[in-house]
Structure 1
Amino acid sequence: MYYREWKPKKYLFEGKRGTQYSATSVANIVKRSASRAGILQKVSPHMLRHSFATHLLEDGVDLRYIQQLLGHKTTKTTEIYTHVASHQLKKIKNPLDSLYLDKR
């Protein structure tokens, strides 16, 4: 709905004259939105970026794709998200644990 109504030309979210929002403006929008949503925790645009990458990784998206989406030059930078998503590893079940072993 937003895209159809505002028809941005260069940036998805453009300022009044079609210019890029400043980092300060984006941070203020995120903080104001969090406040309106009743989120008491301190929120930043970087947290949204971090959450985006973590959710992609948890959903099985290849690390190289995430690297490109985030604009990282190397996968080393992107690999920090593998540590955040490590709790997902605990949910992986060993297929051998589900085998019925006849105890004779």
Structure 2
Amino acid sequence: MSIRIETNNCIGCGRCTDVCPGNLLFLRDHKATIRDARDCWGCTACVKECPRNAIFFTLEATLGGAGGKLFAHDSADELTWELQLADGTEQRITVNKKQANAY
């Protein structure tokens, strides 16, 4: 997977730059920018932190093909992953944060 940023959706809040463990994101002209997507670790911290779904992962062919996107919607109690496939279909996976590590 590879990170992408839709600058039209970015509000320049800088939350993504604060959480990136690789220090790969920065603001340029009040928009999130990545230094080099090939250096991204795929930790999804920025995807989960972005309040406007401006940051997402593009998917490999085995995960939906060209044009597929993976977004996250984060709230206090739940994390919802939204998978938008190239053919227009969508899937959602919701994780209860309080029970995520319960075995």
Superposition TM-score tier, normalisation by shorter sequence: under 0.3
Higher strand share: 2
The structure, 1 or 2, with the larger RCO (C-alpha pairs under 8 Å, 6+ apart) is: 2
With normalisation by structure 1, the TM-score equals 0.22
Higher helix share: 1
Say which one has the larger Rg: 1
